[in-house]
Amino acid sequence: MKNKADVIIIGAGISGLVCALESLRQGKKVIILDAQSRERAGGLARVAFGGMALIDTPEQKSKGIRDSAEIAFNDWCSFAEFGLKDHWPKQWAKYYTENSISEIYEYVKSLGLKFLPAVNWVERGLYTPGNSLPRYHILWGASLRLVTQLIKQLAEYENNLLTYQFQCRATKLIKTADSIIGCCATNKQHQEVEYYAEAVVVASGGFTGNLDKVRQEWPEDWGEPQAGLLNGTHPSNDGKMHDCVEDIGGQTSNMHNMWNYAAGIPNPNADFENHGLSLIPPRSAIWIDNKGHRIGPEPLVSSFDTMHMCRQINRLQIPHSWQIMNRRIALKELAISGSEHNTAIRDRQFITMLKEVLLGNKKLVDKMLRESDHFIQADKLEDLVPKMNNLTPNSPVSFDALKNTLDRFDQVVSRKESLWNDDQLRRIMSIRKWGTDKLRACYPKPIQGGTPLIAIKLNLITRKCLGGIKTDLSCRVLNMAEQPIKGLYAIGEASGFGGGGTNGKRSLEGTFLSGCILTARQAARSI
Ligand SMILES: Cc1cc2nc3c(=O)[nH]c(=O)nc-3n(C[C@H](O)[C@H](O)[C@H](O)COP(=O)(O)OP(=O)(O)OC[C@H]3O[C@@H](n4cnc5c(N)ncnc54)[C@H](O)[C@@H]3O)c2cc1C
């Protein structure tokens, strides 16, 4: 029968593709359904950057970093702040930290990919300790290359053990008295079809592409979600499969834990409503509220605690924030998350990448100034502020407030280094001590001393779901009594990267693509 297989995988993102390949290698017959077209196979990994948190790698060792599963697990638990009900999320964290080399690093290498030799130090922690060591590794070729390699390997099984059904949306899980035996779907021709298998794997990603659901799950202690919230994923990440799992008695958990970012702008080449780009916010820029006051008491500097930063901004209940910098800072520090704006890495152009790092990313800064009305440039503050206020007439920046903010900062930074007394400067100087990060953090100088000045209008942007469908270590979906539901599995972002929320409240960063690989391989093994 055409619609019958050993395994049905709902979602052809990175987790679905890995699970399919590993199941096919065991000789299983697989059907992959995806709501999108074939060109989008790979899901978010097509556009992701390719950063991965890995522990005790040769790249770390060559930099003199002595990491271990134990150190990483402690860092992970500190940042996650697991609750009493987080037994399985914690088990997954342990499994990740103990097996990142064999399950992720070596797997990726076996597919013909390499990591850049540099190891970055992200999410160091602010008031809550984070990564006590650098462990953020970057895939050469970005995750798009990982997708391409997987699709190539999967092609060997097509017309034989593997069937793809693109533009085919799963709408319901089919349940007998004690197990899941398949799913209903709407196919390309808008017909209702049924697929049957011994095992159904939900690999449908998170729900952060559905802003209504994001608002519904928004953490209560953050205040109302910012009105201009942007969509940092894709509308197909709508969370409908989470609902389907709940409909048959499956459990979801930690849905209010989300990994949003603080520096979103509308995508000038938007593919869908509210489509945003997530900037890597320059650390030397001054982050101000909508009126022109520096946000505090602790200044906002990325690389320490992304969740804290988003919460701090959201709690201000302001319509947007701004970053103020000069061109020198923008050239060295501005970046945009994802492969689309990191083409030198995606296309493996080593010399171009080196030039961008050493000489500044002029191409990116000029492109944004040209294409995005959220990027504003002027030689003098007197000209910058009116331009900013043209963009936000209902919420104008006060020239005096902004001038005062910048003057105070510039006054401090104009003194000799031993007289610097500012938390942002302390953190920049600490960042600059780690060689790789120094390349992307300017030596502090007065902001108004370098022209032109640049202002960027920012909104919060959604990205990853930290919570999701609750699973055990075999990726079996658990019911409300914490018992596995026969025949039903969940992997990748749909499962909160394992257990329904293995990152807890915060990720050490780069635990997502890797978490997809980890859970997908484990599911294929246990089916
Ligand atoms: C710009 C960007 C940069 C990123 N950078 C990084 C990074 O550097 N490091 C990192 O670790 N992570 C990163 N991420 C996150 C990472 O890419 C995702 O967490 C990961 O790719 C999720 O994979 P997935 O397979 O679980 O889900 P997805 O990639 O979301 O795939 C799910 C698939 O399921 C399909 N689907 C959904 N519902 C249905 C349905 N009902 N029926 C059929 N099909 C359905 C969707 O069409 C989609 O193709 C980034 C994300 C973005 C957007």
Q: Does residue 237 line the site of ligand 1, with CB under 6 A?
A: yes
Nearest ligand 1 atom, CA 511: 11
Q: Residue 422 phi/psi, 5° resolution?
A: -155, 130
Q: Does residue 208 line the site of ligand 1, with CB under 6 A?
A: no
Q: Is 502 left (phi over 0), alpha (psi -120 to 50) or beta?
A: alpha
Torsion of CA 409, 410, 414, 417, to 10 degrees: 30
Q: Is 32 helix (H, G, I), strand (E, B) or coil?
A: strand
* Cα(463) to centroid(ligand 1), Å: 10
Residue 248, CA distances (Å) to 201, 276, 467 in order? 14, 34, 19
Ligand 1 pocket test target in 123, 512, 518 with most atoms within 8 Å of CB: 512
* Cα(401) to centroid(ligand 1), Å: 41
* Cα(444) to centroid(ligand 1), Å: 37
Q: What are the CB-based long-range contacts (under 8 Å, 24+) for 388-395?
A: 388/322, 388/455, 388/457, 391/457, 392/290, 392/319, 392/320, 392/457, 395/290, 395/291, 395/318, 395/319, 395/320
Measured CA to CA, the distance from residue 90 to residue 480 in angstroms comes to 19
Q: Which domains does the chain have, with CATH numbers?
A: 4-204+240-246+466-479+486-526 (3.50.50.60), 259-461 (3.90.700.10)
- How is residue 34 written in tokens? 């995806």
pLDDT in tens, the chain (527 residues): 569 999 999 999 999 999 999 999 999 999 999 999 999 999 999 999 999 999 999 999 999 999 999 999 999 999 999 999 999 999 999 999 999 999 999 999 999 999 999 999 999 999 999 999 999 999 999 999 999 999 999 999 998 999 999 999 999 999 999 899 999 999 999 999 999 999 999 999 999 999 999 999 999 999 999 999 999 999 999 999 999 999 999 999 999 999 999 999 999 999 999 999 999 999 999 999 999 999 999 999 999 999 999 999 999 999 999 999 999 999 999 999 999 999 999 999 999 999 998 999 999 999 999 999 999 999 999 999 999 999 999 999 999 999 999 999 999 999 999 999 999 999 999 999 999 999 999 999 999 988 899 999 999 999 999 999 999 999 999 999 999 999 999 999 999 999 999 999 999 999 999 999 999 999 999 99
Measured CA to CA, the distance from residue 487 to residue 249 in angstroms comes to 13
Q: Does residue 517 line the site of ligand 1, with CB under 6 A?
A: no
Q: Which amino acid is at 16?
A: G
Q: Does residue 13 line the site of ligand 1, with CB under 6 A?
A: yes
Q: Does residue 468 line the site of ligand 1, with CB under 6 A?
A: no
Output the pLDDT for position 2.
65
Which stretches of 291-380 are DSSP H helices? 306-315, 327-333, 343-346, 350-359, 362-371
Cis omega before residue 297 (within 30°)? yes
* Cα(426) to centroid(ligand 1), Å: 36
Residue whose Cα lies nearest atom 15 of ligand 1: it is 512
Q: Which amino acid is at 360?
A: G
Q: Does residue 240 line the site of ligand 1, with CB under 6 A?
A: yes
Residue whose Cα lies nearest atom 49 of ligand 1: it is 43
Beta-strand relationship, 192-202 and 4-10: parallel
Q: Does residue 516 line the site of ligand 1, with CB under 6 A?
A: yes
Nearest ligand 1 atom, CA 17: 25
Helix axis angle, 399-414 to 381-391, nearest 10°: 130
Nearest ligand 1 atom, CA 33: 43
Q: Does residue 257 line the site of ligand 1, with CB under 6 A?
A: no
The yes/no answer to whether this complex scores an ipTM above 0.90 is yes
Measured CA to CA, the distance from residue 202 to residue 61 in angstroms comes to 37
Q: Does residue 137 line the site of ligand 1, with CB under 6 A?
A: no
* Cα(516) to centroid(ligand 1), Å: 9
Q: Residue 318 phi/psi, 5° resolution?
A: -100, 155
Q: Does residue 498 line the site of ligand 1, with CB under 6 A?
A: no
DSSP calls for 210-247: -HHHHHHH--GGG-SPPTT-BB-S-TT---HHHHHHHH
Residue whose Cα lies nearest atom 4 of ligand 1: it is 48
Q: Residue 426 phi/psi, 5° resolution?
A: -60, -40
Q: Is 150 helix (H, G, I), strand (E, B) or coil?
A: helix
Output the pLDDT for position 450.
82
Measured CA to CA, the distance from residue 460 to residue 84 in angstroms comes to 29
Measured CA to CA, the distance from residue 361 to residue 365 in angstroms comes to 6
Q: Does residue 170 line the site of ligand 1, with CB under 6 A?
A: yes
Other C-beta atoms within 10 Å of 410: how many?
A: 16
Closest of 275, 278, 279, 280 to residue 231, by C-alpha? 275
* Cα(494) to centroid(ligand 1), Å: 9
